[in-house]
Amino acid sequence: MTGPRTLHLNAFLYGVGHHSAAWRHPDSAAERIGDITYFEELARTAERGRLDAVFFADGHSVNPKYTAGTTWFLEPLTALAAMARATEHIGLVTTVSASFFTPFHAARMLASLDHISGGRVGANIVTSMFDEEARNHGFDALPPHTERYARAEEFIEVLCALWDSWDDGGVLVDRVGGRFLDSSAIRPIHHRGKHFRVDGPLTVPRCPQGRPVLFQAGASETGRNLAARHAEAVYSVAWDMTAAIEYATDLRARIAAAGRDPGTVAILPGLVTYVGRTEEEAWAKKAELDALLDVDAAVTQLGVFTGQDYTGHDLDAPVDDLPPIEEFTGPQGRYATVQRIIETRRPTLRELLGYLAAGGGHATMIGTPESVADSIEEWFSAGACDGFNLMCPAYPDSLDDFVDLVVPELQRRGLFRTEYPGSTLRDSLGLKTV
């Protein structure tokens, strides 16, 4: 008998926090973002809160002109391997670019990490965002959007085929009979496609959880269709509950149309929280970070999100509507969010930068543990989401606040687990071993 529906919570690790000025705070851990013990501590905090997973994002380029914000230093799979040894239950999700990895390389690394962690790995499959990334991989520019997603579709098919090229009994260790492997349980895949030619089998035995969990974060039509066919959990962008419901309703319909059960795919919008024991304390935490914001850097970042040049724009003048999303070639989820903020709030440029300072336009909840839990419960009960991808504005403090103040309130309401249900990420997400 299935128990009551409960939240899934994921901590999105990013430098010293998702607020672009968090590193400037005198108490920040900015000097430690290349120190693996810092990330191990964050993972242990998330595990103490019984969160489903930590998510370590990735990028393949650095903009040397953008000097006012932290970036990623450590390669995620390497970092997560260390974090696996420092934890016991927390899921470990990385970003994998279908545009730059080959499926054999990705399948091998992810399967290895799944063995190292005892079955706690997930992979967010992306197509990458920027031409600067492509130029680090032998390309002049990224391929067109539709071509990248066609490659990603085939990439996922080959990944799964490679993970399935070993049965559970592939490793015999029959000392008496002299057989270490059972050849009947290991088979080539002989894949021949437009983008990949892969014989297989994989060089790593069957994963502890069958396959690592597949995540997806595409907001475009092709991205949503890819998620509907393959994703087991989805990261999304929603500025408000209305947008979240629209997205969730659309994606669940696509999942059903693809012949899958929408109830098995967790939809996790990004969530920025400022939590205090009083409302005043919570708002003061936000104000303290906002006061450190580098306006010029924020304007540059807004240009990346929208493809528009806001240099010289009056900070206290309203921002014009953006062009139709069909004209934008970058990541459409973030673009659509900025578009929605402009259309619903009619902000000045200064106000828009404030909305985007932490999380880039994801939902933001500010208040006491009770009021933040109220908002989370409202979204969850309305079917706007199955949980959240926490984008803490300042690590480690914001994660500590959520784990120590909000999680107990969610547990008190029966909305979140008090213990892990099993040993794998699939167990935490309520997914079957495949």
Q: How confident is the model at residue 65 (pLDDT cuts 50, 70, 90)?
A: low
158 is a domain residue = no
Tell me: the pLDDT tens digits for 226-245? 999 999 999 998 989 999 99
Tell me: the pLDDT tens digits for 222-231? 999 999 999 9
Q: Is the pLDDT of residue 1 over 50?
A: no
Q: Do residues 324 and 259 share a domain?
A: no
Please compute the mean of the pLDDT values over residues 279-291 and round it to a whole number: 92
Residues in contact with 182: Cβ distance below 8 Å, sequence separation at least 6, in sequence order:
167, 169, 170, 171, 172
What confidence score (pLDDT) does residue 336 get? 86
Residue after which a domain boundary falls, among 314, 337, 356: 356
Q: Is the pLDDT of residue 68 over 70?
A: no
Greatest mean pLDDT among 129-133, 211-215, 429-433 lies in 211-215
Q: Do residues 315 and 391 share a domain?
A: no
What confidence score (pLDDT) does residue 13 get? 96
> How many structural domains comprise the chain?
2
Q: How confident is the model at residue 23 (pLDDT cuts 50, 70, 90)?
A: very high
Q: Do residues 372 and 230 share a domain?
A: yes
The pair of structure tokens assigned to 106 is 């990705």
Q: Do residues 239 and 315 share a domain?
A: no
Q: Do residues 221 and 334 share a domain?
A: no
Q: Is the pLDDT of residue 67 over 90?
A: no
Q: Do residues 242 and 321 share a domain?
A: no
What confidence score (pLDDT) does residue 374 get? 99
Please compute the mean of the pLDDT values over residues 281-305 and round it to a whole number: 90
Percent of the chain past pLDDT 90, that is, above it, reads: 79
What confidence score (pLDDT) does residue 59 get? 84
Say which CATH number the domain at 38 has. Answer: 3.20.20.30
Structural domain for 52, as ranges: 8-138+205-276+361-429
Residue after which a domain boundary falls, among 331, 356, 381: 356
Least confident of 96-105, 267-276, 338-347, 422-431: 338-347
Averaged pLDDT score across all residues of the chain: 94
Tell me: the pLDDT tens digits for 163-221? 999 999 999 999 999 999 999 999 999 999 999 999 999 999 999 999 999 999 978 89
Q: Do residues 309 and 270 share a domain?
A: no
257 is a domain residue = yes
Tell me: the pLDDT tens digits for 132-173? 888 989 989 988 989 999 999 999 999 999 999 999 999 999
What confidence score (pLDDT) does residue 407 get? 99
